[in-house]
């Protein structure tokens, strides 16, 4: 079973235009997240508490911020490769973005299921806020899956175009003999 093939992105634009839009959208989003987590890693330990003393961020949070910044950096690099792939029509450069986004979507899906399970077992005043966060992560996961389908369809489309142009000139081209110029 494979990834479903699409003919158009969002039923209105070509796969190439959709891939370019997706690449820029993910580049901007990952750049913003990378900036936020880099700032948290850099300035997080310098927070002040109510008394004005320096409050230390726990090592677990610090490790989480560093790991998230690293993942966003890798995803940003893959998004930049996708921009190059979209403009230069290089199908092999779409694969890193597809793989990284697929892994992240799968992880977000598992986190959403885990969050829903924990939310159903818990009580408290933040349940509404947590439900909204889980819904937003689930919506982002669904959006990522659709984007993967668009980029993968564009990958297959580029491959088919390359195969067609390569095989078109692989043999002799038949041209009919004109009988009116060469009478027997």
121 vs 33, which has greater pLDDT?
33
Q: Is the pLDDT of residue 172 over 90?
A: no
What mean pLDDT value characterizes the chain? 82
The arithmetic mean of pLDDT across residues 66-78, rounded, is 89
Write down the pTM of the prediction.
Answer: 0.76
Contact call for residues 94 and 155 (beta carbons, < 8 A): yes
Looking at the DSSP bridge assignments, the partners of residue 54 are 48
Q: Cα 134 to chain center, whole Å?
A: 19
Contact call for residues 72 and 30 (beta carbons, < 8 A): yes
Q: Is the pLDDT of residue 36 over 80?
A: yes
The arithmetic mean of pLDDT across residues 31-47, rounded, is 79
Query: How many other CB atoms sit within 10 Å of the CB of residue 27?
Result: 18
Q: Is the pLDDT of residue 46 over 60?
A: no
pLDDT digits (tens, 9 = 90+) for 150-169: 999 999 998 888 877 766 66
The arithmetic mean of pLDDT across residues 8-29, rounded, is 91
Contact call for residues 92 and 152 (beta carbons, < 8 A): no
d(CA 93, CA 175): 39
């Amino acid at each position: 079973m494979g990834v479903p093939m699409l003919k158009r992105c969002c039923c209105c634009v070509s796969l190439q235009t959709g891939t370019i839009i997706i690449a820029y959208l993910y580049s901007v989003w990952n750049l913003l997240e990378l900036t936020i987590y880099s700032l948290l890693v850099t300035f997080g330990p310098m927070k002040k508490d109510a008394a004005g003393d320096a409050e230390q961020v726990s090592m677990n949070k610090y490790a989480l911020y560093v790991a998230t910044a690293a993942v966003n950096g890798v995803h940003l690099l893959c998004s930049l490769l996708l921009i190059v792939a979209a403009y230069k029509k290089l199908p092999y450069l779409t694969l890193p973005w597809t793989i990284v986004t697929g892994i992240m979507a799968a992880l977000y899906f598992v986190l959403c299921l885990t969050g829903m399970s924990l939310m159903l077992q818990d009580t408290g005043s933040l349940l509404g806020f947590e439900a909204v966060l889980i819904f937003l992560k689930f919506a982002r996961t669904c959006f990522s899956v659709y984007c993967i389908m668009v980029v993968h369809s564009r990958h297959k489309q580029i491959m088919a175009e390359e195969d067609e142009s390569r095989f078109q000139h692989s043999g002799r081209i038949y041209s009919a003999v004109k009988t009116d110029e060469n009478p027997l």
